[in-house]
Amino acid sequence: MQSERDEDRLASLAVVLPLALTGFVVAAGCWTLFAVAGVHLRADLGLSSLQFGVLLAMPMAVSAILAIPAGLAAQRYGAREVMLLCLCGLAVCMGILLLTNTYAGYLIAAAGLGLAGGFYGAGLQFVISHCQTRRLGLVLGVFGSGVTGAGFNYYLVPLFHEAFSWQGVPLAYLITLLLVIALLIMLTDATGEEDESRERSVREILGVIRQGRNLPLCLYFGVVAGSFFALALWLPDFLSGQFGLTLDSGARLAQWFVIPGAVAQVAGGGLSDHFGSARVATRALAGCLVALVVLSYPPMTLFITGVEEELIVEFALPVSLESGLVVVLGVAMGTAMGSLQRMVILANRQEASLFAGVLLVSACAIAFVLPVAFGGLNQWLGVRTAVFMILFLLLSGSLLLFSRHARREERNMLLHPGI
């Protein structure tokens, strides 16, 4: 009987996971559309660095606001229904982008793109309900790898911009969204998804979040994932300005951060299933810091007073080395995200949609603040690599605190093995 149930669950997972993954790929592409299109808008509308940063951060801000309500709605009314609602909202946003030509209009559309965050929370609940515990890390990693959709913009926007106009991308996304909505309606049903439990107060919800070490783990995930999203949004502009490339060339280079990093979540979740989330997350964060130390150094010229003449030493990372370090950074951050996500969801499987929302709130809060900070710091300090300095400080603090929590938990298990 148990083996039959396992086979049924595996068969349903084979249908549900590809659908949810496809939806998240498209939603993530919409979510980060302005990472590349915003660079063209910056030139067309003459935006300042601060205005550009606000445009990039707007989808993240709305995602942070919607994340927990979307998770609770998925738990009460069904994940499938919330997923469909978010996809329909994204389709409306694509329509707005086809019609508007003002900064205010683009801000409204950017805010609507935050519905992609609601899809993440509901989709995670949708997938987990069909998954066995022993495959949890791998399945979460596969679903999380849908962030690769953000990398499609680095191909699509330059391609459409050269052939027609970047506004062709919203039209392509609109058609794809309608197709995904149709597939989700035809191939899935709402049976068995609803949770008819009573409505909980804000105090009860906060109590669940604060249990054990849930809140610190969610914050660690938020710092890593928020830094990943913020850097994915900022890299096209950074690379094109740092190396004097065209905007389209900078966008194509930036996809080597997003796509390997998104796929690395699968490795992070799978490795955590075998070796433990804490061990994988610690080593991945250490890898992030190594890459960030090198990337933080700006191009510089040293004037050294010699015995007979003044020596001039120039230091600047070549494009090839900087691109390689960006790939390493993306893979390390993706691995850390996969392991931390597994750690949180495994400890709170019955509240998966709620904690998916909490994870998203923490990530989007960081991803909202960082682009604005990047833009303000660039405008004030004038050093582009300062963005990596900020990320180094954030991730090094997270690694220190996370390692301390992990050691404390190991010590408690050794002292109180029965607990």
> What angle in degrees, to the nearest 10, is found between the helix axes of 2-31 and 79-99?
20
Distance CA 9, CA 6 (A): 5
* Among the ranges given (5-14, 246-255, 273-282), the one the predictor scored with the smallest mean pLDDT: 5-14
**Residue 228: which H helix or E strand, with range?**
helix 214-242
- CB-CB contact of 153 with 35 (8 Å): yes
Q: Of 55 and 157, which is predicted with more confidence?
A: 55
Report CA-CA distances (Å) from 115 to 29, 101, 184, 189.
12, 22, 17, 21
pLDDT average, residue stretch 22-34 = 86
Burial of 403 (0-12, 13-18, 19+ CB in 10 A): middle
Find the range with the poorest average confidence among 211-225, 249-263, 404-418. Answer: 404-418
Q: Does residue 217 have a pLDDT over 60?
A: yes
Is residue 291 predicted with pLDDT exceeding 80? yes
Query: Would you say residue 194 has pLDDT above 50?
Result: no
Coil/strand/helix, residue 303? strand
Higher local confidence (pLDDT), 396 or 254: 396
**Is the pLDDT reported for residue 418 higher than 50?**
no
| pLDDT tier, 332 (very low <50, low <70, confident <90, very high otherwise) | very high
Question: Model pTM?
Answer: 0.74
H or E stretch covering 300: strand 300-305
pLDDT in tens, 357-366: 788 788 878 8
Quickly state the pLDDT bin for 198 (edges 50, 70, 90).
very low
What would the mean pLDDT of 388-416 be, rounded to a whole number? 78
Phi, psi (5° rounding) for residue 282? -60, -45
> For residue 310, what pLDDT band results from cuts at 50, 70 and 90?
confident
Asked if 139 contacts 132 with a C-beta cutoff of 8 angstroms, the reply is: no
Kindly tell me the burial class for residue 250, based on how many C-beta atoms sit within 10 Å of its own C-beta (0-12, 13-18, 19 or more). Answer: buried
CA 32 to chain CA centroid, nearest Å: 9
pLDDT at residue 295 is higher than 50: yes
pLDDT (tens digit per residue) in 138-157: 777 788 788 778 777 777 77
Residue 34 tokens read as 């302005």
Mean pLDDT for 283-299 is 88
Neighbours of 30 (CB within 10 A): 33
CA 223/CA 100 separation, integer angstroms: 34
Mean pLDDT lowest for which of 69-83, 194-208, 315-329, 371-385? 194-208
Query: What is the SS3 assignment for 323?
Result: helix
| pLDDT average, residue stretch 12-28 | 84
- Measured distance CA(109)–CA(360) in Å, rounded: 20
Per-residue pLDDT band for 33 (boundaries 50, 70, 90) equals confident
Q: What mean pLDDT value characterizes the chain?
A: 79
pLDDT at position 416 over 70: no
Q: Cα–Cα distance between 77 and 181 in angstroms, integer? A: 18
Burial of 245 (0-12, 13-18, 19+ CB in 10 A): middle
Tell me the DSSP string of 174-213. HHHHHHHHHHHHHH---TTT---PPP--HHHHHHHHHSTT
In the chain, the percentage of residues whose pLDDT exceeds 70 is 82
Give the side-chain half-sphere CA count within 13 A for 389.
12
- Interval 340-358 mean pLDDT: 77
Residue 176 above 50 pLDDT? yes
d(CA 220, CA 103): 34
d(CA 237, CA 38): 9
Class (C level, CATH) for 2-415 = mainly alpha
**Tokens found for residue 370:** 């960082």
Q: Is the pLDDT of residue 120 over 70?
A: yes
Task: Read off the tokens for 246.
Answer: 């065209």
Torsion of the alpha carbons at 184, 190, 193 and 197, rounded to the nearest 10: 130
Q: How far apart are the two ends of the chain, measured CA to CA in Å?
A: 32
Q: Given this model, what pLDDT does residue 87 score? A: 94
Asked if 364 and 61 count as a contact pair (C-beta separation under 8 A), the reply is yes
Q: Summarize the confidence of residues 68-96 as an average pLDDT.
A: 88
Predicted confidence (pLDDT) at residue 197 exceeds the cutoff of 50: no
